[in-house]
Chain A
Amino acid sequence: MSKSKASGPSRYELLFIVPNNYTEEEAKTIVAKVEGVVSEQGANIVYREFWGKKKLAYIIKQNHYGYYSLCEFDSEKNVIAKIDRTLRLSQEVLRHQIVSAVVLSDAERAKIKDKQEQSAVKNEKKDEKPIKEKAARPTAVRTEKNESNKAELKDLDEKLEGILSAQDLL
């Protein structure tokens, strides 16, 4: 993302997963250990974020869950390979990834989080429509009163139109 200069430290972010066979307390000590590995190499940690236990999108080494932790640091380019190797050999880290990151202030980080949250909420509201429509269908068949049936059909039509136009837009 950012073109690294010829010399001097640049910003990196490390995301790693601690396997589920540890308790949250133990996971936190492992996180501290990993951060120790990073700072041992002369890197300056500027930001930490512990996400807690999360369901993995797919099973990794028989783990369905893992503790995610994020760590941003400034470091020289040449030590990244060392950090990467240490973490790869570690049994306490299920998976990790180091990518270069953009330098952000706390205010900017908060702003980005806020924007991401807003757009996610908007998107999830849009997604609710097809789910409601599915739920409404069996009840519409079951109801014997014509009036409620009509009302529900009207509702359905409106929702369908909404969905169709939404699909056009996407």
Chain B
Amino acid sequence: MNNKKQKDCFYCVNQLEVDYKDVRTLRRFINFYMKILPGDRTGICSWHQRKLTQAIKRARVMSLLSPTHK
């Protein structure tokens, strides 16, 4: 539990690929201030974390996610 780096990657476990249109999934990896959580907080593997940050930025461009907290 204390070892943060040994968490399971959400996308690997669920055998899902990162999709910028799937805002409901992306939302769990963003904090209250709409900031992207770092990899050690999300527990996502570095490969998927890179895909995730890309996807969140794409979702922001299309106004699916707010870039800031109000």
Which A positions have Cβ atoms within 8 angstroms of B?
Answer: 1, 15, 17, 56-58, 60, 66, 68, 70, 95, 97, 99, 102, 112, 115-116, 119-120, 123-124, 168-170
Which B positions have Cβ atoms within 8 angstroms of A?
Answer: 1, 7, 10, 14-17, 19-22, 24-25, 27-28, 41-43, 51, 58, 60-67
**Given A119-B25, A168-B1, A60:B20 Cβ within 8 A:** no
In the bound complex, CA of A134 to CA of B51 (Å): 35
**Given A168-B1, A170-B41, A97:B63 Cβ within 8 A:** no
**Contact in complex: B22, A95 (CB < 8 Å):** no
**Contact in complex: B65, A112 (CB < 8 Å):** no
B67 to chain A, nearest CB (A): 7
In the bound complex, CA of A116 to CA of B55 (Å): 15
**Given A58-B67, A99-B20, A120:B25 Cβ within 8 A:** yes
**Contact in complex: B66, A116 (CB < 8 Å):** no
Residue in B10, B19, B42, B64 whose CB lies within 8 Å of A112: B19
